[in-house]
Structure 1
Amino acid sequence: MGLNDEVGRRLKALRRARDLSLSELARRSGVGKGTLSELESGLRNPTLETLYALTTALGSPLSAVLDDPPAGARGGVSGSAVTAVLLERYDDRDAATDVFRVTIAAGATQDSAAHAAHTTESLMVLSGTALVGLPDAPQSVGPGGHAHWRADAPHRYAAPDGEVHGILFVRYPKRRP
């Protein structure tokens, strides 16, 4: 089963588990119904932005629709500037944390929509210099440095001076009854 098929299967299962129609998930996520149908059928290549919009609307972490990476995985899912490869998903009683190996393309900027309430992100930069975080207060982070920001508000990734490599942690607190 390829990435598109696996993502589609997991996306459809999450939507059905929440008893949502294609139309309702499309409305909540801002993703077109036709696009959503093609994603669920494995006919369309998912982008990072689209998957975040859908998983946020479903109240799930991004890793809920990504296949577990094989050892030495390359590739991943890409957005307009960021490519992310899922390395790990850690669950405890309070939160789910996704760990990604990310690359921000040289000279590129990606604006990400808000994730679920109380979600946070942290980036440890391995090489290059990134501008990340909230658009009105971006943090400049170089090799060996890290930044932390709210991801339940629109946020940004940029690599103004060359390609950036890093490790991204996305923490999704679990809802309490």
Structure 2
Amino acid sequence: MDLAAGVGLRVRELREARGMSLSELARRSKIGKGTISELESGRRNPTLETLYALTAALKVPLSTALRDLAPPARISGRVVEAVLVERFEADASVTETYRVRLRSGAAQESAAHSPGTTEHLIVLTGTARVGRLTDPVLVGPGAHATWPADVPHLYEAPAGDVEALLVVRHPQRGEETGLR
């Protein structure tokens, strides 16, 4: 199954498991109903921004829509390209590990994740500006940063592409785990 079909099927399963209509998911995610319909049917490739908006509205970590896809899912957005490397579920949390590339000269403001979510970025090459919108930090090769991701936050590659590892830790709260 290709990325579009696999992700589309997963989004539909998550939506239906919550008893949510297509119209309700469109309203909550601010993604057009037609776009969601095309995504769910596998006729549209998801962007990182679209998939994040949908999973946030469904109250599940992004990896819930990407896991179990072979080969590992690579999803791109305007600024960030991400590959899900690992998803680990424990009683108290879901931890996702991504290999990410931030595109040179680009910045992305990300909406808040669920309460208690934290992010950790380890930079492999380049220099990233990341963290809360109110006080982002510069992180160079071999360094790392940690910030609360339950507030709006920033990813930026001010000069040159950035290669990094991103670890996102979501507290586990019943319905947020998604389908097992």
TM-score when scaled to structure 2? Answer: 0.92
Quote the Cα distance in structure 1 between the aligned partners of 2:67 and 2:42: 13
Residue of structure 2 aligned with 1:156, choices 154, 157, 174:
154
Q: Secondary structure at the match of 2:78?
A: coil
**C-alpha displacement of 1:108:** 1.0
> Deviation per CA, 1:116-162, whole angstroms, max 9, x where unpaired?
22211110001110000112211110111111112122111111111
Q: Which residue of 1 aligns with 2:13?
A: 13
Regions of 4+ moved over 2 Å: 67-71
Contact 1:3–1:67 at 8 Å: present in 2 too? Answer: no
Contact 2:103–2:160 at 8 Å: present in 1 too? Answer: yes
Q: Secondary structure at the match of 1:65?
A: helix
Q: Which residue of 2 aligns with 1:122?
A: 120
Say whether residues 1:138 and 2:136 are aligned partners. Answer: yes
- Structural mapping, 1:42-121, within 5 Å: 42-68=42-68, 70=70, 76-121=74-119
Quote the Cα distance in structure 2 between the aligned partners of 1:34 and 1:149: 35
Q: Secondary structure at the match of 2:66?
A: coil
Q: Secondary structure at the match of 1:10?
A: helix
Quote the Cα distance in structure 2 between the aligned partners of 1:162 and 1:142: 12
Q: Which residue of 2 aligns with 1:28?
A: 28
Consecutive unaligned residues of structure 2, counting only runs of 5 or more, are: 176-180
Quote the Cα distance in structure 2 between the aligned partners of 1:69 and 1:168: 19
Aligned length: 175
Quickly say closer, same or farther: Cα 1:109–1:93, change in 2 above 3 A: same
The code of the aligned residue for 1:140 comes to L
**C-alpha displacement of 1:67:** 4.0
Contact 1:69–1:87 at 8 Å: present in 2 too? Answer: no
The code of the aligned residue for 2:61 comes to P
Quote the Cα distance in structure 2 between the aligned partners of 1:33 and 1:117: 27
Q: Secondary structure at the match of 1:102?
A: strand
**C-alpha displacement of 1:68:** 3.5
**C-alpha displacement of 1:69:** 5.7
Residue of structure 2 aligned with 1:174, choices 169, 172, 179:
172
Quote the Cα distance in structure 1 between the aligned partners of 2:158 and 2:35: 31
Contact 1:9–1:41 at 8 Å: present in 2 too? Answer: yes
Q: Secondary structure at the match of 1:161?
A: coil
